[in-house]
Each structure stands twice: as C-alpha cells, then as structure tokens.
C-alpha cells in the first residue's frame, strides 16, 4: 500500500504545471507606444510619479548575454497593449506588437542614470527617446545626448537618432528580444520566485505559445560567438549598418564570417600587415585591437562605451589563440 501511495504522489508530481514567476498580467491603461514623447518620463504613463519604479503593468525581462555598458546595471521591461502579445518570427526573434514599449533603465549601483524607451506606434513605426535622471532619482527628463557624471561613472547618453544606428531592421530592431536570449530562468521580485521566463510569459498571455515550438539554442554567457553576436552583430551582418562585409552573428559558420585571415576594409593599425582575425595571434588581430582600444574614434562598439570589457575581450583572445593550435 505504501508503495502504491508513493507511486501516486510521484505521478501527480510529474503532472504538476511548471513553476511560474508571475501569476498574472496586470492591466496596462497608460504605457503605450506612441509617435511622440513628453518631456518628463512619468508623463509617459510607464513609471510611478516621483520614482524610477515602473508601473505594475510593465513585465520585467532578462537576457542570457547582456550588451556591455561600462559595467552599469540594467533593468529591462516590456509593456504590451492589453489585447496584444509577443510573437516569434521565423528567425527566432520575439516581435513587439504595435503599441508596445521596451524600457531599459541604466543604474550606477542604486542610482538611476538614464532610461531609454524603444516603442512601436499604432502603425508599427519605431521611435526612441532617452530620459536622464536627476541626482535624487526622483525625475527623468528628455535629454538631447551628451556626457554626464552619475554614481562614479562618466556616462555617454546617446542622441535619440543614434539609437537607430544599432537598432536596425536587419537585426529585428529590438535586439535583445530573441528566444536564444530570453530562454533563461529569472528571479521575479514581485513574487520572490525564480522560474522559466518563456514559460511565464506564455502562461500569463504575454507570449504566443507557438513561439516555444521554434527550434533554438540558448546563448551561453561564456560562448565567444554569443558575445560577438550581442556586442557586434546588430551592425555586422547582412543588411546591417556597418560598411564592411563581415558577419558576426552567432549562427554564422566561422568560414563565412569573413574575418579569419582577412584584411580589414577600413583602417589598419599594422600599416598593411593587419588581419581582422589572425589565428593564434590576438595581438595582431584588428578585431581584438578594436575591442581593447581606448581611442574613441577606433574602439568598437563605437557608441555607449568608454571602458574595455576585460572579461569579454579575454574570451575573444582565447578564441583567436585556439585557432592557432
């Protein structure tokens, strides 16, 4: 009898639904994608007045491999119209519907620096706005771009038109919304639970279940190809904004990246001896030199960074060194 009871308990446990991070999706009456932006962030309807706290309708999300932003912490949220949800396209990209809003707040410790909004209006056209927080973190206002000091960081806030230097159509505009990026467990502050992000989004009606059927390989944080994809491939891909013909997407075969044993098309710190990726020799590789440069006219990525990502470039160096073995 005891064995039978144990078997029943095991079988019941096997049928339990997956543990979810959120129980429901809150109504969203105010945070909508529009073609124009107010001067004060709170007036967008996406944040609580007088604080850097988003309204309850904004869904937090996270990515497996973050874009390097000089060590700043980032909080990411998505707001959806109540009758809309995220869909997945044929390339595994998660598509924001018209009226949707992507929110990213950058922090230096507890102090908010800036919040960027990337939105689709009701006609599906993309728009961007940047808001700079005051020292007290109580109000953020539209900012035309420039350099500020916050929380010990010297921070470059991009102009709003510069947002679309990286957020290009060829990369799906939203960049971080990819199944390979979102397929991870997330700690949800609202419930204190850690759970699958994709399963949670599907369960609360924020993501089409058909999206989970799309084959994908989650990016690994220590994978150099995932790192190059996130840092570089929004520009360096077919149809990207870069003017050189290299392809740094994670799923591109190394033979077709057009970097290994290839001469640079623009700029050569070695005179005429430079190679984009010189197998076994990161110090001779122009790709590595650009990632480690302190020259803002030469360094890659060209926007939004002043500091070298030492952990990231160490992975790139190891990848190049391994080619020479």
Going by pLDDT thresholds of 50, 70 and 90, the confidence category of residue 69 is very high
pLDDT at 110: 87
Q: Which two three-digit tokens encode residue 85? A: 């949800």
Residue 240 CB partners (closer than 8 Å, separation 6+): 168, 170, 171, 233, 234
Q: Where are the alpha helices (DSSP H) in the chain?
A: 2-15, 163-166, 179-182, 197-203, 224-232, 286-292, 310-323
pLDDT at 1: 43
pLDDT tens sequence across 116-143 = 999 999 999 999 999 999 999 999 999 9
**Prediction pTM value:** 0.90
Mean pLDDT for the stretch of residues 85-97: 95
Q: How far apart are CA 117 and CA 105, in angstroms?
A: 9
pLDDT tens sequence across 160-212 = 989 998 899 988 899 999 999 999 999 999 999 999 999 999 999 999 999 88
Going by pLDDT thresholds of 50, 70 and 90, the confidence category of residue 2 is very low
pLDDT at 267 over 70: no
Mean pLDDT for the chain? 90
pLDDT at 47: 96
């Amino acid at each position: 009898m005891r064995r039978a009871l144990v078997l029943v308990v095991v079988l019941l446990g096997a049928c339990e639904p997956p543990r979810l991070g959120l129980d429901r999706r809150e109504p969203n009456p105010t945070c909508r994608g529009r073609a124009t932006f107010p001067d004060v962030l709170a007036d967008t309807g996406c944040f609580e007045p007088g604080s850097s706290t988003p309204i309850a309708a904004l869904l937090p999300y996270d990515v497996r491999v973050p874009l390097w932003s000089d060590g700043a912490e980032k909080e990411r949220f998505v707001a959806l119209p109540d009758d809309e949800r995220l869909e997945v396209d044929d390339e595994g990209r998660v598509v924001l519907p018209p009226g949707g809003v992507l929110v990213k707040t950058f922090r230096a410790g507890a102090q908010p620096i800036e919040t960027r909004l990337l939105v689709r209006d009701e006609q599906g056209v993309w728009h961007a706005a940047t808001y700079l927080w005051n020292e007290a973190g109580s109000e953020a206002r539209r900012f035309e771009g420039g350099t500020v000091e916050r929380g010990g960081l010297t921070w470059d806030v991009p102009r709003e038109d510069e947002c679309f230097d990286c957020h290009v159509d060829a990369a799906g505009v939203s960049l971080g919304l990819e199944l390979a990026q979102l397929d991870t467990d997330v700690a949800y502050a609202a419930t204190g639970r850690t759970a699958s992000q994709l399963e949670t989004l599907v369960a609360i009606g924020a993501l089409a279940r058909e999206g989970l059927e799309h084959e994908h390989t989650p990016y690994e944080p220590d994978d150099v190809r995932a790192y190059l994809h996130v840092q570089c491939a929004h520009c360096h891909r077919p149809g990207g904004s870069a003017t050189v013909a290299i392809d740094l997407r994670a799923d591109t075969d190394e033979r077709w990246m057009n970097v290994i044993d290839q001469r640079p098309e623009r700029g050569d710190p070695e005179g005429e001896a430079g190679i984009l990726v010189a197998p076994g020799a990161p110090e001779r590789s122009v790709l590595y030199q650009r990632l480690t440069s302190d020259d803002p006219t030469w360094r890659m990525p060209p926007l939004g960074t002043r500091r070298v990502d030492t952990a990231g470039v160490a992975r790139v160096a190891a990848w190049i060194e391994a080619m020479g073995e």
